[in-house]
Amino acid sequence: MNKITLDTYGQFTWSFGFLWHIETEFGNFEWSDPDYEGGDNTIKPCAPLKQWYKDIGIRIGRDKGTHMIRNYCGENVKFIDSIITGFAIKK
């Protein structure tokens, strides 16, 4: 199974808060942006975009385009793996 890296490109959608949805060829991920209160600079697996909206309680996000993860999230972002059941492992 392939994993995302700093060099992976993804479609970024902003939640108007500290959470971002990233759609990549390896799946869907959520970035917690440290530039906003509550953000911890982690990327973890999440639901596809429309379900993610429901999961975090918003109706719409803002498309911010396609970017390489390192260029949008920085070099120090932490990737959190998931286990088979889909729950995130806290590190």
pLDDT tens for each residue of 8-23: 999 999 999 999 999 9
Q: Is the CB of residue 32 less than 8 Å from the CB of residue 18?
A: yes
This prediction has a pTM of: 0.86
Q: Residue 2 has what pLDDT?
A: 59
Q: Residue 90 has what pLDDT?
A: 42
Which residues in the chain land under pLDDT 50? 1, 83-91
Within 13 Å, how many C-alpha atoms sit on residue 31's CB side? 27
Q: Residue 82 has what pLDDT?
A: 54
Q: Residue 91 has what pLDDT?
A: 40
